[in-house]
């Protein structure tokens, strides 16, 4: 009977019509099947410099013979934050490093980028040092691991690389001139793709290590979810506003998190500060909105219900595990509100700064 149940669960992701739901079911099943495996612990000390932090992240994903669908515990040493928000923060951080570069010298630069080129046409770097250090297996494991925990995807990979990564032949590769990062040699794009063959093979092995290969081969519509185009990862104001649960105008939340109700509360504070946040969301760039979401809940993927509370406090804070943004009620000028909020959300990569 238990065996029949397992077979049914295995078939769910194969028959589910919605690709995102199929991916969610597959990840859930894979983690459930490995719930008794040895727990993985990803720990980072935010008091370390960026190079030490990045080396810790890379060391975690360079380990071989690891069951990446095992239970995961994430720890931020030097920060008061705990719980699921820490996991979201670290998953977001490691994907961000994969796109922007690691603060490590694995060649001739202080920032090591594994992928080069224009947005939506990123290709693996042909650096032998990265290949020798197994860094593309690291990239595959990072992306697969994030997918398993419903984290951010890796945007901007070249369609030509995706084609080759999943078994397409070089002869049928959908190459464009944008796939060559060197503007002076765009007439040799085919050669560039061919020179990344070893990198792609290593990248493929890294993805396979995480256990995702069956769904990526049988449900190829999952691939664009794992590797979305840059435009698909942009956050719009309406996208964020649709997720927000606005504060109750008859409740003030104090720093001790005790709710105190007032019959004669001046509702202007709640209305004013809420309108400041709405204005911020409607006027800031997609990158700023991503930073806000990251500060708020731990990563750039908006949650279904993101709560706002008005508090007696000094600066904006976040309770990431409960997806709450706490805004002080003392703001009377939008310029000051914007200045403080931008300062707070810019600190999210070094730590939550949470209450």
Pinpoint the alpha helices (H) of 152-195. 159-165, 189-195
Q: Where are the domains of the chain?
A: 2-230, 234-345
Question: pTM higher than 0.75, yes or no?
Answer: no
What is the C-alpha to C-alpha distance for residues 294 and 325, in angstroms, rounded to an integer? 11
Closest CA to 233 of 113, 60, 99: 99
Please state, in angstroms and as integers, the Cα–Cα distance from residue 326 to each residue in 117, 308, 353, following that order. Answer: 39, 6, 12
Specify the CATH number of the domain 2-230.
Answer: 3.90.1750.10
Give, in words, the CATH class of 234-345: alpha beta
Residue by residue, pLDDT tens for the chain (355 residues) are 333 333 334 568 989 999 999 999 999 999 999 999 999 999 999 889 989 999 999 999 999 999 999 999 999 888 766 677 788 888 888 998 898 899 888 766 678 999 998 888 899 998 888 999 999 999 999 999 999 998 889 999 998 899 999 988 766 666 665 666 655 555 556 666 777 889 999 999 999 999 999 999 999 999 999 999 877 777 788 888 888 998 865 444 444 444 444 444 468 888 899 999 999 999 998 889 988 998 898 877 777 789 999 988 899 998 887 889 999 999 999 999 999 999 998 875 444 444 3
């Amino acid at each position: 009977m238990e065996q029949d149940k397992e077979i049914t669960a295995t078939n769910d992701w194969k028959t589910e019509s919605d690709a995102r739901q199929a991916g969610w079911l597959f990840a859930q099943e894979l983690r459930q099947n490995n719930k008794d495996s040895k727990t993985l612990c990803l720990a980072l000390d935010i008091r370390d410099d960026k190079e030490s932090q990045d080396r810790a992240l890379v060391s975690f994903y360079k380990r071989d013979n690891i069951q990446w669908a095992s239970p995961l515990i994430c720890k931020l040493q030097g920060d008061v934050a705990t719980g699921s928000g820490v996991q979201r923060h670290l998953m977001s951080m490691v994907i961000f490093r994969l796109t922007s570069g690691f603060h490590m010298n694995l060649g001739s630069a202080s920032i090591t980028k594994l992928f080069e080129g224009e947005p939506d046409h990123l290709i693996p770097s042909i650096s032998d040092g990265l290949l020798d250090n197994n860094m593309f297996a690291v990239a595959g494991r990072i992306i697969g691991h994030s997918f398993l925990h419903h984290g951010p995807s890796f945007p901007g990979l070249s369609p030509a690389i995706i084609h080759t990564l999943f078994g397409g032949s070089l002869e049928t590769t959908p190459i464009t001139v944008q796939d060559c990062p060197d503007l002076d040699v765009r007439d040799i794009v085919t050669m560039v793709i061919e020179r990344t063959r070893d990198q792609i093979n290593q990248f493929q092995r890294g993805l396979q290590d995480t256990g995702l290969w069956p769904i990526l081969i049988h449900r190829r519509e999952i691939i664009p979810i794992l590797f979305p185009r840059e435009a698909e990862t942009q956050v719009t104001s309406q996208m964020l506003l649709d997720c927000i649960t606005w504060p109750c105008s008859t409740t003030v939340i104090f720093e001790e998190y005790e709710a105190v109700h007032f019959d004669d509360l001046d509702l202007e504070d709640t209305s004013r500060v809420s309108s400041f946040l709405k204005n911020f969301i409607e006027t800031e760039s997609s990158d700023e909105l991503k930073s806000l979401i990251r500060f708020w809940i731990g990563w750039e993927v908006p949650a279904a219900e993101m709560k706002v509370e008005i508090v007696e406090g000094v600066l904006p804070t976040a309770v990431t595990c409960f997806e709450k943004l706490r805004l002080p009620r003392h703001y009377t000028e939008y310029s000051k509100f914007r200045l403080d909020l931008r300062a707070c959300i810019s600190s999210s990569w070094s730590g939550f700064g949470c209450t």
